Every structure is written in structure tokens, then in C-alpha cells.
Structure 1
């Protein structure tokens, strides 16, 4: 380890909680989306976050010999804790999409930071791959933000 104070167990626990919350956020977003094509895309994001959680949980078990146990009191990003009525209008949706973008950005940065603190190379690569996936999520979310904003601007012009 590059940093003797670094707590990999705590970092992995935090990462898994973040993936759980991101998955829940995307599931709620998908449930509150009226467009079937968009719903399918958002459900894919939820599935990817679930895959990340499973990958990290498996690694956690391999490293520490115990299964990961979620703590329901851990809230990684309070802004991802949304209620269904927050999807009711364009402005609320734009705020939520912005929150999702920032959450993905923080996740990418977090994984990049982890990749610099761990050995061996397979572990570094796993965290770098996760960071790259989170950046892919950011690109998707940015596209959806731009589309929604365009719809809003179109409605305002009418």
C-alpha cells in the first residue's frame, strides 16, 4: 500500500454502499420515467451499478473472509435519496440528473484514488475499470440532461 493509514476495508465498504445507493436511485428514476426507451436505458444504469456492487462485494469477501454487510444508516450522497414526487416536473428532474452526474463524477474520482493506493496490478486495474465505467455513466447522464433541457426549452418557446 502506498499509504500506511489507508483503510481498504473501510474504502470498499464505502464504495459498496455508494453502488447500492446509485442502484436504488436509478431504479426510482426508471420507475418514474414515462418514456419506455429512456426507462430501459436507466434500468441498464441500475444494472451496471448492481454489477459494480457485486464485483466489489466479491472482492471484499476474498480479502477479508467475511461477506459485506450493508449498514442502512450509511448515506453516501444524501441528494441521491429522492422521493417519487421529485420526478414530477422538468426542473426537479434536471436537478436530480445533475445530482446523478456529480455522484458519478465523485465515484470515478474515488475509484481513481483507490487505484493509486492498492497493490497488486489486478486490483489497480479493477478500480481503474470502475472509474472508467463511472465516467461512461457520466456521459450518458450528461446526454439525458441535455435532452431534457432541450425539451424544457422547447416547451417554454411554445
Structure 2
């Protein structure tokens, strides 16, 4: 049962990492446009450039580690990362997309739209990956306790039995 889950998780993580890297490359190109240099766009671009690189780097690292270790990315920490990264990606990309749609537009408008679109799709894939992890995560992962607490629980059960 865990093999299809692991494959779906890996494919989603790989697709997310690729989309985030593409969005990041487009976003770097946006930084050199005259509308950003002329400060027509301020917080929307800078918020996106502040949050996207660490998220993309973490996604790429997770994909690389998944090639070596099959259990990386299948735990509650990875699920939390996917959930928060998805929400942050969608929020930042939507902010940039809405700001661009209100602007009159120029020859670089397609870069803004494409970077935002890739960011939104990557965010949705992050959320989808978090949901897949949530549904198919083994119960032992959810009830993980430190060994010392585990031993105390066993001792308490033994005393009551």
C-alpha cells in the first residue's frame, strides 16, 4: 500500500520543485525590468522574491534526498512544510498576479503572469501533497512519542493492568 503513495508523493514533489524553479527564474528576470527598477512594483515583487527561493530550495533538496532515501518527505514535518509552503506560494503569487492585473501592462507583463501562474500551481501541488501525506501517512507516524515518554506509557499501562 505504501508504494503507490511514495510514487505519488515523489512525483508531486518533483513537479512542485520544477514549477518553483521555473517561477524563480522568471521572477529573477522580472527584477531587471524597467517597471520594477522604476519602483512601480514594490512589496508584491519583493515579498515573492523573499519567500520563493527558500521554499524552492527546500523542495529541490527534498527531491534530491528522495532519490537517496525513500522515507524522506513522508513524515509530519514534510506535511507541515507542504501545507505552509503551499499557502505562502499561493498568497505571494496571487498578490503579484492581482497587482499586475490592475496595472496598465507593458512588454514584460507575460513574465509577471507566468511567474505568478507557476507559483500558484506549485502552491496547489504543495497543498495536494500535504493532503496525500495526511491521508496515507502510517498511524505510527501520527502517534510518535519520544522513547522516554513511550517507556513511561508502557510502565503506566503495566501498573494499571
- TM-score (norm. length: structure 2): 0.48
- RCO higher in structure (CA 8 A, sep ≥6): 2
Bigger radius of gyration among the two: 2
